[in-house]
Amino acid sequence: MKLITHNMLTSKCLKGVVTGYPLAINATDVKISEVDFNPEFISRIIPKLDWEVLWKAAESIGHSEGLPQTIDPKFEDNEEFLRKAHKVLLEVEVEEGYLTCPESGRQFPISKGIPNMLLTEAEVQ
């Protein structure tokens, strides 16, 4: 699971949960895989993300170093920043661990890099 994906995951489908966002990350295995840097893509995707959630997620697994907590208005022109964002968004991957719903505490396992968001019939709204 990449952190860009984590930015979109929610547990709001659980019965009794209102927002279910963001999910807390517990990682037992994090890997870094190299991905080609595409500054244009990173610039365009950043406005679609919740940056605060991304920063906290990166910090929680120990990969926030050098990443600003807030975005500079002219971030598109800052290649150093874009490279850092690129790394955190696409290269850092949680291989094993679990996600936790902030409201109910329900855990979603991450195995072989894939978060399992399935719910049982009884858990659904």
Q: Which helix (H) or strand (E) holds 28?
A: strand 24-32
Total of residues contacting other proteins (CB under 8 A): 37
Please compute, for residue 71, the number of CA atoms within 13 A of its CA located in the half-sphere on the CB side.
Answer: 21
* Of positions 24, 75, 102, 113, contacts other proteins by CB under 8 A: 113
The enclosing H or E element of 110 equals strand 107-111
Binding flag, residue 40, other proteins (CB under 8 A): yes
31 binds other proteins (CB under 8 A): no
Query: Among 11-19, 56-64, 67-75, 77-85, which window interacts with other proteins (CB under 8 A)?
Result: 11-19
Does residue 36 bind other proteins (CB under 8 A)? Answer: yes
- Which element (helix H / strand E) includes 5? helix 3-6
Please name which of 107, 119, 102 lies closest in space to residue 20, comparing C-alpha atoms: 102
Measured from the CB atom, the residue of 28 and 116 that comes closer to other proteins is 116
Of 5-13, 24-32, 61-69, 72-80, the window that binds other proteins (rule: CB under 8 A) is 5-13
What residues are paired with 2 via a beta bridge? 93
Rounded Cα distance between 84 and 21, Å, is: 24
**Contact residues: other proteins, CB under 8 A:** 1-2, 4-5, 8-13, 20-21, 33-36, 38, 40-41, 43-45, 48, 90-91, 108, 112-119, 121, 124-125
